[in-house]
Amino acid sequence: TQLLEQSPQFLSIQEGENLTVYCNSSSVFSSLQWYRQEPGEGPVLLVTVVTGGEVKKLKRLTFQFGDARKDSSLHITAAQPGDTGLYLCAGAFGSGNTGKLIFGQGTTLQVKP
């Protein structure tokens, strides 16, 4: 059974601080995605990483895929109150279209003004 361990589960910081969220698994991902979810809504995709060692940037967000494609991180620079939300990593497993997309437990981020 594939599992995604996401840490920390909760994070409360002041505006302007930096933070990193981690996503780890003992299994190899074919791709890994990061989503952000607002209360009462479905998650929305932020980024997809595919290649081991890949780094992608989205404004103040930096996403990194581990060399072995078993782990990933999300780093936010100078967090803003608008970054508050639930951040989820998700991994696709297997070659070909297995259809299986597993999510981590989520990180609830609160950025205080």
Partner 1 sequence: SQTIHQWPATLVQPVGSPLSLECTVEGTSNPNLYWYRQAAGRGLQLLFYSVGIGQISSEVPQNLSASRPQDRQFILSSKKLLLSDSGFYLCAWSGTGLNTEAFFGQGTRLTVV
Q: How far is the CB of 39 from partner 1 (least distance, A)?
A: 8
Nearer to partner 1, 18 or 98 (CB): 98
Q: How far is the CB of 108 from partner 1 (least distance, A)?
A: 5
Distance CA 95, CA 25 (A): 17
Tokens 């990483």: give the residue. Answer: 49
Parallel, antiparallel, or unpaired for β 107-112 and 10-14?
parallel
Other C-beta atoms closer than 10 Å to the C-beta of 65 total: 24
Q: Does 110 bind partner 1 (CB under 8 A)?
A: no
Q: Does 73 bind partner 1 (CB under 8 A)?
A: no
List 13, 20, 50, 56, residue binding partner 1 (CB under 8 A): 50
